[in-house]
Amino acid sequence: MNSSARKRRLTTAAATALVVALSATACGSGGTGAKEADDGTYTVWDPYPQFAKGSAWDKLLDSCGAEADVQIKRTGFDTSDLANKALLAAQQDNSPDVLIVDNPVVSTLAEAGVLTTTDENKLDTSGVDPNLLEAGQLKGKTYGTPIGANTLALYYNKEVLQEAGVDIASVKDWPTMTAALAKVKKAGKKGITFSAIGTEEGSFQFLPWFWGSGAELTDIDSSAAVSALSLWTDWLDKGYAPNSVLNNTQTTSWQEFATGDYAFAENGTWQLANAKKAGFDYGVLPIPGSDGGSAAAPIGGEFVTLPVQGDAGRYTTAQKLAACLTSTQNLYDTDTTLSYVAPTTEVQGKQMAADPELKPWVDAVKAAKGRTSDDLGTKYPKVSEQLWKAVQSALSGSKSPKDALAAAQSAAK
């Protein structure tokens, strides 16, 4: 680790951007005690509060600590709370040794000077799929390695499609997707459900269609972007999608699909267990691009990062812990627990061998794209907010898709 990393200081602009972006959902900032006085204790912060002491995740951390001959003090936070806690800890030179954080936050923390680069910390990322690694990159530098990924695709109800006379193999682009929805409605069934709520979830679900049109987040009122929002608006106008999408979270959208009445639902890998319990035969289709092929869906999942430390002597052990957590076997075990697709081709192969139903999800992850790609970095939260506001305006009928996106582009600047 070079001295410049140890002396790095938080940039005011990036720090402010993170606090503003996350203040709406962050919890209080009580003390957490990132460092123990005993040098033999290393701290790990993660966004998995659902995993209690004695869980498989907790045991994995302890085993990695044992390999490095140190004790692990682990704290699990809600995702939004974790980002703010990480920033505040860095300001106090009290960062955890290992920080596992939602991938869109990586570039913001990096720009704020919180994280070390992989050139500095020597984490091996050579086996990681390049598109997944991009989610943790900023200005040509990489700030961690993904622990796994999830993304979006289309679940479909085989019985509903069969009754409507729709061959799923015919759904290859937007015109054929819309034609399938028309057949489903004509047959007396419901078309597609998704989440268009006015939060990051709404942007997350709109992005595959946005990117599938050829649009870019640096130009959110382009003609391509308008075509994507027009697609969703037309689906609501024609009754192919319900008005409830305006308030649907990804969870309530899934609950609609689970009734068995809908032909399609846009949702993620995290619903696989629920899909298997739904009581009807289902399939998974990558979200089609406007002219065919698989649209890039946004990458979900976390990165293992090593924050900047005042004591450079801690880096060697922290690197060992991160390497252990992302080893081939541990990635396989962890990503199976989290319902994630692994970030490496090697482990993806093991996952598909154990569960062939993961094949469309692996394909979707390989086509996925980081929300902060193209060096959007700290600008992403503001762009995303304007995007979901545009979606809400257009779907509610208060503005045309063109006018809604024009207003969004102006506000994003």
pLDDT of residue 79: 81
Give the helix ranges, DSSP H, for 51-151.
56-67, 79-91, 103-111, 118-121, 130-133
Considering the chain, what percentage of its residues have pLDDT values greater than 70? 90
Mean pLDDT score of the chain: 90
Residues 6+ apart with CB under 8 A from 348: 341, 342, 362, 365
Q: Average pLDDT of 257-263? A: 97
Radius of gyration over every alpha carbon of the chain, rounded to an integer in angstroms: 22
374 pLDDT higher than 60: yes
6 pLDDT higher than 70: no
pLDDT of residue 173: 98
Q: Please indicate whether residue 28 or residue 393 has the higher confidence score (pLDDT).
A: 393
pLDDT of residue 370: 93
Q: At which residue do the structure tokens 């697609």 appear?
A: 231
pLDDT of residue 33: 45
For the beta carbon of residue 4, count every other beta carbon within 10 angstroms: 8
183 pLDDT higher than 50: yes
Q: Average pLDDT of 113-137? A: 95
Residue 136 near residue 143, CB atoms below 8 Å = yes
- What does the pLDDT look like over 269-318, one tens digit per residue? 999 989 999 999 999 999 999 999 999 999 999 999 999 999 999 999 99
pTM: predicted TM-score of the whole model, two decimal places: 0.83
Domains of the chain with bracketed CATH:
3-149+300-366 (3.40.190.10), 152-297+376-412 (3.40.190.10)
36 pLDDT higher than 90: no
pLDDT of residue 377: 78
pLDDT of residue 336: 86
- What does the pLDDT look like over 223-242, one tens digit per residue? 999 999 999 999 999 999 99
Residue 380 near residue 200, CB atoms below 8 Å = no
Considering the chain, what percentage of its residues have pLDDT values greater than 90? 82
Residue 391 near residue 229, CB atoms below 8 Å = yes
Assigned token pair, 229: 């929002």
Residue 14: beta bridge partners?
none
Alpha-carbon span 114 to 146, nearest angstrom: 17
pLDDT of residue 339: 85
C-alpha distances (whole Å) from 344 to each of 133, 142, 300, 304, 390 are: 10, 16, 15, 14, 36
Alpha-carbon span 101 to 305, nearest angstrom: 8
pLDDT of residue 11: 54
DSSP string, 15-47: HHHHHHHHTTT---------S-SSTTEEEEEES
19 pLDDT higher than 80: no
Residue 256: beta bridge partners?
none
C-alpha distances (whole Å) from 78 to each of 44, 46, 49, 236 are: 14, 8, 6, 34
Beta strands, E only, 248-331 = 262-268, 282-285, 302-305
As to burial, measured by CB atoms within 10 angstroms (0-12 exposed, 13-18 middle, 19+ buried), residue 186 is: exposed
Assigned token pair, 205: 């679900």
